[in-house]
Amino acid sequence: MQGDVSGAICHDWSLVRVWSGIFCASLLGVALSLFLNPHGREVLRPLGEKVVGEASKVGVAIVSVEDVQKIIVEGGWVVFDARLEREYDAGHIPGALSFPYAQRDEAFQEWASILNSEQKVLVYCSGKLCDDGLHLAIFLKGMGIKDVALFVDGLDGWKKAGLLVE
């Protein structure tokens, strides 16, 4: 009789180990899906006021659609699209250059000849749900660019305003 009880206890512990393994694997899957999207970029992004707060901490100005239009007309600014190159190729703000945040080190080397500490730079991404623009702006500030602006509404906001896309 005692052997039957110990066998049942051992069997129950085996089930506990199996279910705890499944539970842990599920938690890991959920955690990864919350933090990464299919492109391997962060998904948990600061939105709205949080973006403004993060940008202001490092001296990045937030600009509107109207401001971007003025910047393009005014000239003297370099406009960077922080999205992946294939996204840039599918359409971007007129005159913008591709500077994918995901390949920031390579892109910085590519554009280093036109960048200096006094160069005015505007950065954008796809929209409010994309943090690559914010991260690129912070990266550029860290590389010594003094005047960096972020267009938080990004390409989505540009299109929503009925403006042309290259």
CATH class of segment(s) 49-160: alpha beta
Give the closest residue to 95 by CA, choosing from 115, 66, 116, 74: 74
Lowest mean pLDDT among 46-60, 95-109, 112-126: 46-60
Percentage with pLDDT > 90 across the chain:
61
Give residue-wise pLDDT tens across range 19-66: 565 655 555 554 444 444 444 444 444 444 566 667 777 789 999 999
CA 147 and chain centroid, separation:
20
pLDDT tens profile 120-148: 999 999 998 888 999 999 999 999 999 99
Looking at the predicted structure, is the pLDDT value of residue 11 above 90? no
What is the pLDDT at residue 81? 98
pLDDT at 49: 53
Q: Give pLDDT, residue 59.
A: 84
Instruction: Give the CA angle between residues 42, 44, 47 to the nearest 5°.
Output: 120
Per-domain boundaries in the chain: 1-35, 49-160
Tokens 């943090």 belong to residue = 131
First-last CA distance in the chain: 80
Q: Which of 49-53, 75-79, 96-100 has the lowest mean pLDDT?
A: 49-53
Which of these, 104, 150, 97, 154, lies nearest to 129 by C-alpha position?
154
In the chain, the amino acid numbered 70 is: K
Q: What is residue 70's predicted lDDT score, i.e. its pLDDT?
A: 95
